Structure 1
Amino acid sequence: MASNDHIDFKLYRYTPSTAAAVVFAVLFFLTTIYHIYQLYRRRAWYFIAFVIGGIFQIIGYICRILAHNNTDSVPIYSIQAILILLAPPLYAASIYMVLGRLIVYLRAEGLSVVSIKWMTKVFVTGDVIAFVMQAAGGGIMASGTISSYNLGEHVTVGGLCVQLVFFGLFIITCALFHLRIRKKPTPEVIALAARLNERTTRSWQTVLVGLYAASALILVRSIFRLVEYAQGNAGYLISHEVFMYVFDSTLMFLAMVAMNIFHPSMILVGSQKERDAEMEYPTYHT
């Protein structure tokens, strides 16, 4: 961990780019609006946290627009730093819930290495811990003093480590389930494949592709943030705005777009009761 024991503390070590912030505010607005449409149309309420993450991004980048002419404003710095930091854990919460619902939908509980009874609870609990730690760390750092920044930095790095551990375990759990169900498909998987074969290319595996893509992007972003905060307030990464836009903004926008394209509601529509009816009396969605 960088020491940062000198007095040269700054909220920003550059003047935030208005153009870059406008571009990403617009991009996140567009993908979030489409997510809201998908959530409402397919009653995918398990994706509410994901949408809230998108809203966090929009507000965060609007604040970065304001920060261009207000580089000494602690409130503006605090809002943009905390909301952009906290959006990915919200994405993760929805992603964790999707896998559990997909396994139940496919009647493949016996193929999961983690009990379905505990899967969502364990991963979401880990995500909540990571979320709270990052929120607390971001809030402490945002107070604008070197001592508070050092403390908040440690707390944030701890939260990012927790997030990485649980995300790594989730990806392993997802991959092992995928391998097992491909080797030993359940009757529901076979029946679903037969019904969808000539009507659509979308399937439960398409949902997993979306989970893999979004998870990989969030994982890379979290590693970047971990290294960035570990370097400290005067670190090379945090001192150059371009790295944030490449390894956070762009990756998180792509994660949201990936879930637009491979939205789980293509399979997981409405409540479990409604999905049971769908399996027995299928209707086809485009």
Structure 2
Amino acid sequence: MAVLEPYRGGYYLWKYLPSIEAAAIVSVLWALVTVAHVWKIWKTRAWFNIAFAVGGFMEFIGYAARASAHDKTGNLMPFVIQNTMILLAPVLFAASIYMTLGRVIRAVKGERFSFIRPGRLTKLFVAGDILSLTIQGSAAGLMIISKLAKMGQTIVIVGLVVQIVIFGLFCVTAVSFHRRMKRDVVVAATCARGESLKWEQLLRMLYGVSGLIMVRSLFRVVEFIMGTDGYLLSTEWPIYVFDAVPMLFAMAIYWWWWPSMVSSVGSGNENWAAMTSMSDLSPGAAKKAPTLP
């Protein structure tokens, strides 16, 4: 029977005995959704979503390591792997989300409706993502050293706060662009006729996925603020309810409303019809779409 074992000098890496059943089930789910994303990336050639798939693979590795740690709570590597992979994976999800928004704006020729130019938008948010990733990644090693664990947690909190701030700015940018586009005369007339606008569908998908990542990030901030002896880090169920489940839903939502229609957008030369076509929503119902001035 597995028992909780110390790492060195009586220092416990784990505050509980990780459930092998829960970790195994979740790792299998992550394997399935990641394979599904890889298949869609290959099928649609939407290469900008590779970061999303890599994030899913990291989650799979992380929860597989948790399962292996059930009877190895005194071993360092399973703890480090699961802690690092699960903590950093959502940063990669965010990278694909940022690139999707920039491509949506260019695809509908809506640059004038965004207060940050699409080219700068993607670079700005991805740079913020890399900064958050670097900060959180640098603290992963410190968290396994008893004397430096508190410092490591503080650095992780800073990295998560950076991620939340960047996400907040991203949400403001997306919502502002959405509202300004809707106020445009041509767009408003199209909506009034009841036509389905694919760009709006994509934005709503981004709102949903971003909201789930935001909730997860806030949970992790509270978790580390409470410390290693706090309830959230000393109990297992919160990481599944507030981290694993939201991120699985984020992967599923992104897969279902896959942004394949902006996979070829890069230079901004794509036309409005590519985003407003009805052909792949209701067969035989394609209509001629208006062109933005």
Matches of 1:185 and 1:135 in 2, distance apart?
A: 47
Structure 1 gaps of 5+ residues are 1-6
Judged with a 3 Å threshold, the aligned counterparts in structure 2 of structure 1 residues 8 and 112 are, in CA distance, closer, same or farther, namely farther
Q: Compute the TM-score of the two structures, normalised by the length of structure 2.
A: 0.85
Aligned to 1:81: 83
Give the AA of the match of 1:48.
I
- Contact 1:102–1:204 under 8 Å retained in 2: yes
User: In structure 1, what is the equivalent of residue 209 of structure 2?
Assistant: 214
**Equivalent runs, 1:195-274 vs 2, <5 Å:** 197=195, 203-265=198-260, 267-272=261-266
Match of 2:31, as an amino acid? F
Farther-moved stretch of structure 1 (7-16 vs 150-159): 7-16
Indicate the residue corresponding to 1:71 in structure 2. Answer: 73
Query: 1:202: Cα distance to partner?
Result: 6.9
Q: Structure 1 274/121 Cα, relative in aligned 2: closer, same or farther at 3 Å?
A: closer
Counterpart-to-counterpart distance in 1, 2:28 and 2:153:
29
Q: Does 1:167 align with 2:162?
A: no
Match of 2:121 among 119, 122, 126: 119
Instruction: Indicate how the Cα distance of structure 1 residues 124 and 104 shifts in structure 2: closer, same or farther if over 3 A, else same.
Output: same
**Distance (Å, rounded) in 1 between the aligned partners of 2:71 and 2:138:** 27
- Counterpart of 1:35? 37
Question: CA 1:176/1:8 → structure 2, altered by over 3 Å: closer, same or farther?
Answer: farther
For residues 2-151 of structure 1, what are the structure 2 equivalents within 5 Å? 9-141=11-143, 144-151=144-151
Q: What is the Cα deviation at residue 271 of structure 1? A: 4.4
Return the offset for 1:149. 1.1
Q: 1:220 touches 1:247 (CA, 8 Å); kept in 2?
A: yes
Do the aligned partners of residues 102 and 147 (structure 1) sit closer, same or farther apart at CA in structure 2, a change above 3 Å counting? same
Cα deviation digits, residues 120-166 of structure 1 (max 9, x gap): 1111111110011111111221xx32122122111111100100100
Give matches, 1:148-159, under 5 Å. Answer: 148-159=148-159
State percent identity of aligned pairs.
37
SS in 2 for 1:10: coil
Identify which of structures 1 and 2 has the higher relative contact order when contacts are C-alpha pairs closer than 8 Å and 6+ apart. 1
1:9 touches 1:233 (CA, 8 Å); kept in 2? no
Q: Tell me by how many angstroms 1:27 deviates.
A: 1.1
| One-letter code aligned to 1:232 | G
Once residues 190 and 106 of structure 1 are traced to their aligned partners in structure 2, the CA distance between those partners, rounded to angstroms, is 15
Tell me: CA distance 1:238–1:8, structure 2 relative to 1, closer, same or farther (3 Å). Answer: farther
Q: Distance in 2 between matches of 1:76 and 1:237?
A: 20
Q: CA deviation at 1:242?
A: 0.4
State the Cα distance separating 1:277 from its structure 2 match. 7.3
| Residues 1:60 and 1:136: Cα distance change in structure 2 (over 3 Å) | same
For 2:39 and 2:243, locate their aligned partners in 1 and report how far apart those are by CA, in whole Å.
25
User: What are the superposed Cα offsets for residues 244-285 of structure 1, whole Å, 9 maximum, x if unpaired?
Assistant: 0000000100111110111111x21334379727947x7944
Unpaired stretches in structure 2, ≥5 consecutive residues = 1-8, 282-293
Instruction: Go from structure 1 to structure 2 and tell me whether the alpha carbon gap of 1:186 and 1:49 turns closer, same or farther (over 3 Å shift).
Output: farther
CA RMSD in angstroms, aligned pairs only: 2.6
**CA spacing shift, 1:61–1:191, aligned 2, 3 Å:** same
Secondary structure of 2:270's match?
helix
SS of equivalent to 2:234:
coil
Paired residues of 2:108 and 2:272 also in contact (CA < 8 A): no
Query: By how many angstroms is 1:227 displaced?
Result: 0.7
Can you list the C-alpha shifts for 1:58-82, whole angstroms capped at 9, x where unaligned? 1111101101011111111000100
